[in-house]
Structure 1
Amino acid sequence: MSSDEAPESDRVPGAPHPRHSPTIIGQDHAVADFLGAVDAKRLHHAWLITGPRGVGKATLAWQIGRWLLADGDAKSLTAPPDDPVARRMAALSEPRLHLVRRGFDQKTGRLRAEIGVDDIRALLSFFHLSAAEGGRRVAIVDAADELNGAASNALLKILEEPPAGGVILLIAHQPARLLPTIRSRCRELRLAPLPPEEMQRVFAALEIDGDAQALAALSGGSAGEALRLAGQDGLEAYANIVALFATLPRFDRTKARALAEAAGARATADGDPFDLTVTLLDRFLTRLARAGLMGAPVPEAVPGEAELMARLCPDADAARIWAGAQAELSARARTGRAVNLDPAALVMDMLTQLAGQAPAHTKA
């Protein structure tokens, strides 16, 4: 696969890369926080942009980067599309910008599972080599919670001795996974899930096809996730997961194998089937656990979901079991990807393990 065809780890399949997004929707509070800091002459050398996946963290980081390098005014982060800095950033040819993200492994045909120490060493070289030119330089790390241990330690050293004129924008979906010392050296911009009215604005702006209500329910206020689900037939895949769990406690192994085989398909520029499957399983288990505490979800993401969840998770005791299963699944998925286990076999193993959670509290 050529570099032009390879998937980008920081782009939602079916959506434009955040560097091409002209504006951010529904995060006015975070924008005001950043501009307020600039206005007060408190531009920190490192910013940690946090929040759920797909709510605009990367879009905000790229807007801040454009603003910093183009010397924008203090009232708005919006840059004209014909601005030379904006054009160079869109083409990934701006010499004062460095992007750190998971690369594509040509041998496995998949995105790497982690950001490695060599990626952070390249960032250090960027700051050293560009220091002689003077002026402001910007680095975007997407996402910081994908750094492995050695990379995290290398990044910490950069944050401890920040380069003159350098600003580092760290995107984190799960900031608790970062080293506390990294978090303590950053100023945080926290983004929230989008409310329904803002989600509708995003759907209209990006012309998202599909059941808007179902996509909004399953994406949890994440416009990026809604785009990915729409572009990868995510609602159909989620319906298959619901159909599989509806067979509990018997557990239909034929349906399970079909899910696992679909997850094992090769990643393309349109997305990674394994990542989609794990994400949807995680979302199903999260909604399932909440059903035991707060009642079945409304609205449903797919028909029959509410009835199934009321059966599988009728009370708080069941909710604790499913929440524990969700945490274990996430850990197994990260470990499996890190050591390049076969995706189909890994998903089949996870499904079998999850089915084993059901008999103690599931009515046939």
Structure 2
Amino acid sequence: MSARKTEQETAVRHPRETPDLFGHRKAETALLSAYRSGRIPHAWLIGGAQGIGKATLAYRMARFVLSHRDPLAPSVQRAESLAVDPSDPVARQVTAGAHGGLLVLERGLNDRGVLRTVITVDETRETISFFGSTAAEDGWRVCIVDTVDELNPNAANALLKVLEEPPQRSLFLLVSHAPARALPTILSRCRKLPLRPLATSDVMRAAAGATEIAADDPALAEAAAAADGSVGRALNLLGGDALKLQQRTAAMLATLPRVDPRELHALGDALGTSDRVALAAFIDGIDRWIGEKLRVDDANANLPRLARLAEVWEKIIRAARDTESYNLERKPLVFSVFSMLAEATR
């Protein structure tokens, strides 16, 4: 199968459907060692760049714990990884989203059937009843939060209440693209597990495993090389002219704070009106650029610009989510993004 497919043609498996994990052996070993010690911390914050396998690792850990309820059992003590046979009944239930011992907090649909931009407090309060009930099948209860970055303030506080008094045999796996921005009170109750960007070869293998794309497809190799270690980014770059669009965005970012209105119009036209792949490529390019600037400013202790860029990043993410959720025009978003970035970098 060629990697040159449209977004509709290239089906990507959800992390709960992905049994394999690539490039995060150290993090996987940390989780496995903690579990079989019999004294595993009840909450983990799995942090790192978007699309590198954080949620895949979280679901992998959930499957292992739910299918191996006794951490001191010989099978657990002998285990070399968190792998669970996809044919295992627990694995099948997790894949289907039907295991009673697993609760997943993620953005849901509102009353109009539109994907929310945040995880709400009502959704988060499900953890109270979930962890307050008898453990499913007399085993562990696991909660995956994907992502903690998308909790609104009330939802974050509701989650914190459960984290402060965790029931026995409970495990929280919090996924975060920006763990430093999580509530300090949440951070203090979690074991940090940072994941690094993947090697290009691992990006290719993981992308092939998440789709039906051949691992040696030349288009996949080109996208993986430009993905900075992110499987999600590589998959986004495979759609149509997404890679060229991201390169075009990068060229415009390099001229900031100067902005060419003609180029902005052209970029807005290139995003189209409903192409989700193009929008994802544009926002991903912005995210990479801001991330690099934040790292440089942090290293140089440029605190004023660091604060400005962090604030702008939050506004851009919210605007992008609204644009995607409500299928808004892309060109106003392009002008708004570059206007904010030009102001922040002057």
Deviation, structure 1 residue 171: 0.8
Kept after mapping to 1: 8 A contact 2:271/2:278: yes
Kept after mapping to 1: 8 A contact 2:319/2:333: yes
Q: Deviations over 1:235-288 (max 9, x none)?
A: 022133245458888744343134335557347xxx465444222123245568
The whole-number CA distance in structure 1 between the counterparts of 2:289 and 2:143 is: 35
Q: 1:323 to 1:282 in 2, by over 3 A?
A: farther
Q: Which runs of 5+ in 1 are unaligned?
A: 1-6, 8-12, 293-315
Match of 2:12 in 1: 15
Kept after mapping to 1: 8 A contact 2:120/2:151: yes
Match of 2:3 in 1: none
The whole-number CA distance in structure 2 between the counterparts of 1:278 and 1:211 is: 21
Q: 1:343 to 1:167 in 2, by over 3 A?
A: farther
- Correspondence 1:47 to 2:44: yes
Match of 1:283 in 2: 288
- Output the amino acid matched with 1:161: E
Q: Deviations over 1:64-111 (max 9, x none)?
A: 1111111173212111111111111111111221111012346484x3
- Output the amino acid matched with 1:265: T
Match of 1:88 in 2: 93
User: Following superposition of structure 1 onto structure 2, how do residues 273-352 of structure 1 map, counting pairs within 5 Å?
Assistant: 274-286=279-291, 326-336=309-319, 344=330, 345-352=332-339
> Which sits farther off after the overlay, 223-232 or 141-150?
223-232
- Correspondence 1:28 to 2:34: no
Match of 1:164 in 2: 168
Kept after mapping to 1: 8 A contact 2:21/2:206: no
The whole-number CA distance in structure 1 between the counterparts of 2:183 and 2:171 is: 19
User: Following superposition of structure 1 onto structure 2, how do residues 199-210 of structure 1 map, counting pairs within 5 Å?
Assistant: 199-202=203-206, 205=209, 207=214
Q: Deviations over 1:130-166 (max 9, x none)?
A: 4486421111110112111111110010011112322
The whole-number CA distance in structure 1 between the counterparts of 2:153 and 2:257 is: 40
> Which sits farther off after the overlay, 333-342 or 20-29?
333-342
The whole-number CA distance in structure 2 between the counterparts of 1:143 and 1:332 is: 17
The whole-number CA distance in structure 1 between the counterparts of 2:91 and 2:294 is: 44
Match of 1:296 in 2: none
Kept after mapping to 1: 8 A contact 2:203/2:234: no
The whole-number CA distance in structure 1 between the counterparts of 2:185 and 2:63 is: 28
Q: What secondary structure is seen at the aligned counterpart in 2 of 1:219?
A: coil
Q: 1:136 to 1:353 in 2, by over 3 A?
A: closer
The whole-number CA distance in structure 1 between the counterparts of 2:244 and 2:134 is: 48
Q: 1:280 to 1:333 in 2, by over 3 A?
A: same
Q: 1:286 to 1:323 in 2, by over 3 A?
A: farther
Q: TM-score, normalised by structure 2?
A: 0.77
Match of 1:301 in 2: none
The whole-number CA distance in structure 2 between the counterparts of 1:106 and 1:61 is: 29
Q: 1:64 to 1:157 in 2, by over 3 A?
A: same
Q: 1:357 to 1:166 in 2, by over 3 A?
A: closer
Alignment size in residue pairs: 322
- Output the amino acid matched with 1:173: H
Match of 1:221 in 2: 229
- Correspondence 1:38 to 2:21: no
Q: What secondary structure is seen at the aligned counterpart in 2 of 1:138?
A: strand
Q: What secondary structure is seen at the aligned counterpart in 2 of 1:104?
A: coil
Kept after mapping to 1: 8 A contact 2:101/2:140: yes
> Which sits farther off after the overlay, 134-143 or 199-208?
199-208
- Output the amino acid matched with 1:207: A
Match of 1:174 in 2: 178
Deviation, structure 1 residue 176: 0.9
Q: What secondary structure is seen at the aligned counterpart in 1 of 2:202?
A: helix
Q: 1:88 to 1:339 in 2, by over 3 A?
A: closer
> Which sits farther off after the overlay, 142-151 or 258-267?
258-267
Q: What secondary structure is seen at the aligned counterpart in 2 of 1:89?
A: helix
- Output the amino acid matched with 1:199: V
Which of 115, 119, 124 pairs up with 2:128?
124
The whole-number CA distance in structure 2 between the counterparts of 1:214 and 1:329 is: 31
Deviation, structure 1 residue 61: 0.6
Q: 1:116 to 1:274 in 2, by over 3 A?
A: farther
Which of 222, 230, 234 pairs up with 2:238?
230
Q: What secondary structure is seen at the aligned counterpart in 2 of 1:277?
A: helix
Which of 137, 146, 149 pairs up with 2:153?
149
Q: Which runs of 5+ in 2 are unaligned?
A: 1-6, 70-74
Match of 2:63 in 1: 66
